[in-house]
Chains A and B, each alone.
Chain A
């Protein structure tokens, strides 16, 4: 009785697994099939495309740099410092991963907008407004992408043998030397994986950006925004741009696979 059942299960699993894979592959195949390859060069070399691509790269790389600057210390605190409310704080700072990005954009407006909690002070005190600026794009992208870096680096720090840091201290290394010459180099794979993941997330960011930073070519119109708006006027061009985004993301994920799975 048990034998035939045992033989049947892998087949059913295989079928479901195949369906699961097809569910992801078919939309991509559709994009590939419907893309007007003949117009690809024209669509890609259009000034507004290049402008959006440039802005996307600048903003996403800046967002990644900001994520590293603020996210690594945050991950360090989560991994090394015990304090009441740590889990709650971690959950709060991880929220953007599951929050609809538009909600994130609204939240950013309410905090950093002209009438926001802090934004009001910024405008009155320093004349700084963040919505509708490239800085606003960077903020929106950082908001949604930094959690990826924080979680990855925290995991790396937790799996690091902290006795290496003790060994460094017995050799006379102070806090910063230990951090710079031992801790960070040892968690380099996690740092790299976290940075690339958060960069990829920033590159694809749409909802928070359009909500918080609006849409203006050359200033706040990133690739995903251009794709979305082109879909209405020139769908073919938007297919091509979608493929560019897709190729970048795929390259990142394939390149990252080994490091991600084999992270220390």
Chain B
């Protein structure tokens, strides 16, 4: 316990400007975390780690597309922590004075082409997405992943015609897994989470934008101590290890 706390302290101080660290005993009780859908598996694992580090704490998660979460927060949903999959949505939260303190990048993610298990269409890069025999789908324009995907495609100079604009990344992955679509662009972490049902085709770093995940304490938090403790934990070695176990990369 003490060792963890020291580690957390080290991690936090390494990141620069931070609220005062909190003592573990105050971090107990219910904690409501609103997190981007792509964080689902990683945050569930992080929650287990957090609970172990803070006995008596009880984190619960609400996973959805980042814009949906933002709408819910704007409508006054009770949350303590908001973890966004992109900068613009977090900025909207800041502008609406929904969060306390400066949001912090706690992880980054990379894009990957998701294809059917075993890559039956032999897709080797972004250029193949424009092939006539490849049924390509992507996310709706306001979903962060779609924006990153657009950047990647622009960098590669490819203009594929999507057949569907899915409501979120999971929609793309599941339709590819079902074989209804041949390919889509999603996060590395999504491909990893659906391993076995889909395969991933790497996108070269030069064309691959880094998606930064930001986290912030909600201004109207019911349990601000636990909120800060959770953010601290995410940035700690233990939290980072949990995230990287699911394919996320450090900030």
Contacts and interface: CB of A to CB of B under 8 A. Distances in A.
Indicate yes or no for A touching B, C-beta below 8 A.
yes
Interface of A: 109, 113-115, 131-132, 210, 213-217, 220-221, 228-229, 231-233, 235
Given A214-B166, A215-B165, A115 B67 contact: no
Contacts of B68: 231-232
Given A210-B167, A228-B167, A231-B71, A114 B140 contact: no
A115 B179 contact: yes
Contacts of A235: 71, 74
A215 B71 contact: no
A235 B163 CA distance: 25
Contacts, number: 62
A206 to B, nearest CB: 10
Given A231-B71, A232-B68, A215 B180 contact: no
B65 interface: yes
A100 B185 CA distance: 28
Contacts of B204: none
Contacts of A220: 164
A214 B167 CA distance: 9
Contacts of A115: 178-180
Contact of B179 (A114, A132, A210, A228): A114
Interface of B: 65, 67-68, 70-71, 74, 135, 137, 140-143, 162-167, 171, 175, 178-181
B178 A113 contact: yes
Contacts of B143: 232
Contacts of A233: 67, 141-142
Nearest to B68: A232
Given A113-B178, A115-B178, A235-B71, A132 B137 contact: yes
Contacts of B71: 231-232, 235
Contacts of B181: 132
A39 B94 CA distance: 25
B180 A132 contact: yes
B180 A113 contact: yes
A115 B162 CA distance: 20
B142 A215 contact: no
7 contacts: A113-B180, A115-B178, A215-B164, A216-B163, A229-B140, A231-B67, A232-B71
Contacts of B137: 132, 214
A229 B180 contact: no
A131 B141 contact: no
B140 A215 contact: yes
Contacts of A221: 165
Contacts of A216: 162-165
A216 B68 CA distance: 19
B110 to A, nearest CB: 23
Nearest to A113: B180
Contacts of A113: 178-180
- Residue among B68, B140, B167, B181 with the highest chain A CB neighbour number at 10 A: B140
